Amino acid sequence: MSNLVNVPKNGSLSNVNSNVNFPNNSSWLDDIFNRDLSSVFTSNFNTGLSLPKVNIKETADAYIVEMAVPGLKKSDFKLDLDNQVLSISTEKKETHEQKEDNYTRKEFGYASFKRTFTLPETVDDEKITANYQDGILNIFLPKKEEAKQKPARSIKIS
């Protein structure tokens, strides 16, 4: 939107339609409320923090959850199972302090996330295992025996 006013060659600033380039209240409010709000709210905030990406695979015997979370340690994770809801969370705080003769410099950082998944009733929750290696958290969710896919077989007709 341009706020420039065309000035006639005679130098006069009066114009019959002088507010052509100035938005009316209605269009101005429409512009505010119809724009992408996520860009408005994230423009001045840390946009580097996001939920980790997750792959979920199903095999005949289990479900496998792979979560990409590089830069963390195994001890940074907390896995909880409550009423068939698996919660994966982490919280990491860092503080750096540098003292010199005439100044002290402190920096701190904080990052956290929590992802929850409702598990199917076919998961044997007593046998769930997890490991963390090379920035990938792997969670193995074995199926109950009765839920495991049986191999195909031929049925003889009598």
Query: Using CA atoms, how far apart are residues 148 and 125, in angstroms rounded to an integer?
Result: 14
Residue 123: which CATH number?
Answer: 2.60.40.790
The answer, yes or no, to whether residue 25 has pLDDT greater than 60, is: no
Instruction: Tell me how many domains the chain contains.
Output: 1
What CA dihedral angle connects 119, 120, 121 and 122, to 10 degrees? -110
Judge whether 81 lies within some domain. yes
108 is written with which tokens? 């701190």
38 close to 46: Cβ distance less than 8 angstroms: no
136, part of any domain: yes
Q: What is the pTM of this model?
A: 0.59
User: What does the pLDDT look like over 65-87, one tens digit per residue?
Assistant: 999 988 888 898 999 999 999 99
Please give the residue range of the domain that contains residue 112.
54-146
Amino acid at 145: E
Judge whether 48 lies within some domain.
no
Average pLDDT, the chain: 76
Does 60 map to a domain?
yes
In a domain, 27, yes or no: no
